[in-house]
Structure 1
Amino acid sequence: MTAVAIIPARGGSQRIPRKNLKPFNGVPMIVGSIRTALRSNLFERVVVSTDDEEIAQVARAHGAEVPFMRPAALADAFTGTAAVIQHAIGALDRRYDYTCCLYATAPLLQPRFLRAGLQALQAAPEKCFAFSVCSFGFPIQRALIITEDGSLDAMHPQYRDVRSQDLAEAYQDAGQFYWGRSEAWLRGEAMFARHSLPVILPRHFVQDIDTEEDWLRAEYLYAALRAGGELEL
């Protein structure tokens, strides 16, 4: 079994400028993801895909490889992750059985979750992917919307009077990692499909980071998890 970790990290983050290099817990954000990947002992290589020379220098200084620079055509705000991973797989000098996309902005990711994802995929040869998810904190069927006149309304009126315990539990993409068979990545198989497996994370280990408010909440969560001894350091 061979596996490679690929960390996408473009230089042009818009909502939080230079997000991948902004200090988190005393080091550039991307360093946490690199260290987690290395600490898991699952990967023959930890590769960063970037178009930015400063990100490349930081990545190399902390144990990752940057064997190629990402083309500008794959480094804009509209390019999806799958295209970046496909390019990276093709740019490497050999093919690995498993490719794990690991986001640069996943400071709460733990090696044990990565191990669980690989184990799940290895145990199910008919599946293509295994990735991090967590449950929603409230039934999504009972979501509310604000109408054009500023009033509240039910997004799904048919569930307005259904007890929450009678509604199916829903899960969200936790935005941390995506294990996949390399051939499935290259074929462009859909991620959110029945050939994928869930790696269910506790909600207090999940925080997507797109805004300054997200960043602050991630810092609070990290501090609390560290104080509670839940982080693998």
Structure 2
Amino acid sequence: MKIAVIPARGGSKRISGKNIKTFAGKPLIAYSLAAANASGLFDDIVVSTDSDDIAQVARDYGATQIIKRPESLSNDIVGTFPVVQHAIETYQQSVQQVEHVCCIYATAPFLQAQKLIEGYQRLSQATDKHFAFSVTTFPFPIQRAIRLKGEGVEPLDHSQMTKRSQDLEECYHDAGQFYWGTTQAYLSNQPMFAPHSIPVVLPRHLVQDIDTPEDWERAELMYRAYVAG
């Protein structure tokens, strides 16, 4: 038994109504729902929300279960894990037991069904792994990061500044699209960023956080150029 859990809170301080705001012609959450459905992996696609409006849009675009989250899990300081855990526990109490869960962010218009499939296949075939999630590379060597100091700047690590780019280790970051895990790993609070997690590498042009109006504009331009175009 496999389910997707899409957390979609109603409140958003920086982009009002972000999860169902129109993005390139459709509500933003519709893209995550479409990819989940296209993968053919899930017995149910669950949306966890505190909003009736989001619940209705989610149903219209392919969600098969809505879980109404309590007020205690609906503020902007609650992390993703407690929301997913609540969804798993509620689903198992009312429907049936689950073996694998994929948390999919509602703000992932570049999500591809094939990457969801890859993540599940790699996790299900591994004997010593608990999670599989999307990552991508940094566009610039993070070893050469600088900080602003007064009216000037300074390197975070002076020893790295004279090294050639090709001599620096390539580094990755969470791509913020999907997080496969075993039910046991989610419910027992196993850490995500650990050796027992499998990285599913995405190209940078298919990754964009959407937290600010500037992010939104950039993401729409990227979507029209790389996906819709």
TM-score when normalising by structure 2: 0.96
**Runs (4+) of structure 1 moved beyond 6 Å?**
none
Instruction: Answer yes or no: is the 8 Å Cα contact 2:138–2:173 preserved in 1.
Output: yes
| Displacement after TM superposition at 1:155 (Å) | 1.2
| Displacement after TM superposition at 1:199 (Å) | 0.2
- Paired letter, 2:169: A
Instruction: Answer yes or no: is the 8 Å Cα contact 2:49–2:68 preserved in 1.
Output: yes
| Displacement after TM superposition at 1:227 (Å) | 5.2
Residue 190 of structure 2 is matched in structure 1 by 189
| Displacement after TM superposition at 1:226 (Å) | 2.7
Summarize deviations over 1:5-30 as a string: whole Å, max 9, x none: 00000001111111001001211111
Summarize deviations over 1:18-60 as a string: whole Å, max 9, x none: 1001001211111111111011101010000000111011111
Residue 22 of structure 1 is matched in structure 2 by 21
2:133 is the counterpart of 1:131:
yes
Listed as ranges, the matches of 1:35-184 within 5 Å are 35-92=34-91, 93-147=95-149, 149-184=150-185
Identity between Structure 1 and Structure 2 (%): 51
Residue 223 of structure 2 is matched in structure 1 by 222
| Displacement after TM superposition at 1:168 (Å) | 1.1
Find the aligned partners of 2:77 and 2:148 in 1 and give their Cα distance: 28
Find the aligned partners of 1:75 and 1:66 in 2 and give their Cα distance: 18
Summarize deviations over 1:54-104 as a string: whole Å, max 9, x none: 101111122203443100100111100011000000000222111000000
List alignment gaps of at least 5 residues for structure 1.
229-233
Instruction: Answer yes or no: is the 8 Å Cα contact 1:56–1:66 preserved in 2.
Output: no
- Paired letter, 2:193: F
Backbone CA RMSD of aligned residues: 1.1
Find the aligned partners of 2:67 and 2:46 in 1 and give their Cα distance: 9
Find the aligned partners of 1:209 and 1:150 in 2 and give their Cα distance: 30
Instruction: Answer yes or no: is the 8 Å Cα contact 2:44–2:65 preserved in 1.
Output: no
- Paired letter, 1:213: E
- Count of residues paired in the alignment: 226
Instruction: Answer yes or no: is the 8 Å Cα contact 1:131–1:177 preserved in 2.
Output: yes
Summarize deviations over 1:153-192 as a string: whole Å, max 9, x none: 1011221222221111100100000000111000001101
